[in-house]
Amino acid sequence: MPNRPISPGARTGITAIVRRRIEEGGERIWRLDDFSDLPPSAVAQALSRLERARFLERLSKGVYYRARNTTFGASKPNPAAVKELASKRTKVFPAGIAAANLLGLTTQVPRHSEVATSSMSLPRKLVGSETVVHTKRPESWERLTMMEAAILDVLRRGGRTSELPSSQTASKLKSLLKQRNRLARLLRVALTEPPRVRAMLGAFAELIGSSPQELKRLRDSLNPLSRFDFGLLGVLPNARAWQAKEFKPK
């Protein structure tokens, strides 16, 4: 049977229930799922009303924060809890220096967070106003681990986020690709990557010993007239065979 419309009186009652639970729960982040025993549409309206009444702060769609008063004013959401919530809503991957650090290519710690996601955007209140966000990564990234996405991020940058010499950077990435079936998993999503990344994956796959069929699939996806900037990874012995531009070590 279709759901019956909720009367104004019932909506008022649900708002009162939601408000009481939030008062009892105190300072924390609240979501629709926290009121799963109540009608979702009525809860959404109740949270919206409470936000308009300045009882709650809206962080993003369906996500609210109940502050507490302190000597220095209203409290702010815990950054770690907020970022954890953001990663639950959509996968968030390390990018830039953070990705290179995860792979052991640098010991640097980024001054500002840098992340990548397949979403069109991430709520700034969830990831932080100073976080650098790279959006619209292929949906295939949702099936990747943090390490695999970090490898693709480093390849997209030609290894330039590594503080190791070019030969060591290439050797480290090759070693990582050989572990835990990572190369096979990345090859399954390779065609969703830019041509330059496909070419670099092809070069690594050839060195590691992938099947001729897999190598042909990658080669056939590339425009034979194109030349790609491999960055530090131009040091790979077969880089030119995979259409890399001339490598000029610094």
Phi, psi of 130 (to 5 degrees): -95, -5
Rounded distance between C-alpha atoms, residue 205 and residue 187, angstroms: 8
User: How many DSSP H helices and E strands does the chain contain?
Assistant: 10, 8
Average pLDDT, the chain: 85
Rounded distance between C-alpha atoms, residue 6 and residue 2, angstroms: 12
> Hey, what's the torsion of the CAs at 117, 118, 121, 125, to 10 degrees?
-40
pTM: 0.68
**Domain boundaries 8-74, corresponding CATH code:** 1.10.10
The pLDDT tens digits of the residues spanning 40-86 come to: 888 989 999 998 998 888 877 778 888 877 666 776 665 555 555 55
The first and second tokens of residue 131, run together, are: 């976080």
Judge contact between 35 and 3, C-beta under 8 A: no
Which stretch of DSSP H or E encloses residue 66?
A: strand 63-66
The set of residues, in sequence order, having a beta carbon less than 8 Å from that of 120 and lying 6+ positions away, is: 135, 136
Judge contact between 79 and 98, C-beta under 8 A: no
Tell how strand 114-116 and strand 132-134 pair up.
Answer: parallel
Handedness of CA 35, 38, 43, 44 (dihedral sign): positive
Lowest mean pLDDT, pick from 22-26, 121-125, 132-136, 184-188: 121-125
Q: Where in the chain is the domain with CATH 1.10.10?
A: 8-74
Judge contact between 166 and 233, C-beta under 8 A: yes
